[in-house]
């Protein structure tokens, strides 16, 4: 009788233990499924937001490409002695036609989504890893390369500005950058056309401008490729 009771209780408690273990295991299993669904939903939202940012940047990139090309053409024409008064007048009215020589066109595409997911760590849930590499390459490597070139060009632009301060002080103090006086601007261009040292600075400047244009074209192609890649991998709605 004793043995039967022991066997009975053994089976009872073994079954209860088994039920408890199965219950806990199933609970963990369900929770893991929920976590996976949450991560998948968050991942999809991140990709959608990144896609929106990349597409938003397309128009800005195209405009910046035109700006880079225009600035470089003006410097190139100065070096080729083909920059005419009519060309100067064609420069955008809201900007100084001296910008290509004393200033630098910047590059600042939207990066808020990328910066946000990097800072909060959610960038790590993007899959596959090869997609993360491409995203990081565009937002980090390619972007920083262009910024580095711009910084180098800016140093030459600053030297050109300083050159005028030291060598053409009386002209510089007339604030020719913000002065719309046509005669003053033309006189500045005549100085630039005749001064070989100033032109030497422009030779340095245009070398960075050329590299910058190439860098932006490469950035633009990769931006478009990433957009197409994301769209091709998105499920049909």
Dihedral-angle region of residue 163 (phi above 0 means left; psi in -120 to 50 means alpha; beta otherwise): alpha
Whether 71 contacts 209, CB under 8 Å: yes
**For range 154-172, the mean pLDDT:** 95
Average pLDDT over residues 14-38: 64
Q: 152: domain range?
A: 2-233
The whole-number pLDDT of residue 233 equals 77
pLDDT tens for each residue of 63-92:
999 999 999 999 999 999 999 888 888 899
pLDDT at 163: 96
pTM, entire model: 0.83
Q: How many CB atoms lie within 10 A of CB 48?
A: 13
The first and second tokens of residue 79, run together, are 């070096």
Distances (CA, A) of 173 to 31, 95, 154, 187, 200: 72, 19, 21, 14, 23
pLDDT (0 to 100) of residue 236: 45
The pair of structure tokens assigned to 186 is 């033309």
Query: Distance between CA atoms of 10 and 5, rounded to whole angstroms?
Result: 8
């Amino acid at each position: 009788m004793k043995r039967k009771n022991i066997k009975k209780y053994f089976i009872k408690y073994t079954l209860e233990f088994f039920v408890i273990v199965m219950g806990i295991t199933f609970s963990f299993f369900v929770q893991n499924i929920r976590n996976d669904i949450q991560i998948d939903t968050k991942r999809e939202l991140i990709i959608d937001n990144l896609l929106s940012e990349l597409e938003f940047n397309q128009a800005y990139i195209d405009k910046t490409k035109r700006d880079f090309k225009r600035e470089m053409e003006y410097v190139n024409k100065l070096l080729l002695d083909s920059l005419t008064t009519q060309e100067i007048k064609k420069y955008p009215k809201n900007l100084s036609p001296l910008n290509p020589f004393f200033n630098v066109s910047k590059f600042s595409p939207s990066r808020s989504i990328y910066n946000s997911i990097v800072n909060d760590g959610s960038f790590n849930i993007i899959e596959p890893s090869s997609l993360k590499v491409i995203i990081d390459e565009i937002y980090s490597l390619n972007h920083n390369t262009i910024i580095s070139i711009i910084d180098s060009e800016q140093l030459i632009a600053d030297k050109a500005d300083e050159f005028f301060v030291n060598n053409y002080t009386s002209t510089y103090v007339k604030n020719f950058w913000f002065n719309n006086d046509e005669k003053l601007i033309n006189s500045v261009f005549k100085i630039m056309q005749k001064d070989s040292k100033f032109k030497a600075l422009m030779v340095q400047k245009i070398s960075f401008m050329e590299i910058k244009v190439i860098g932006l074209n490469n950035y633009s192609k990769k931006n478009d490729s990433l957009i197409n890649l994301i769209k091709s991998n998105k499920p049909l709605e």
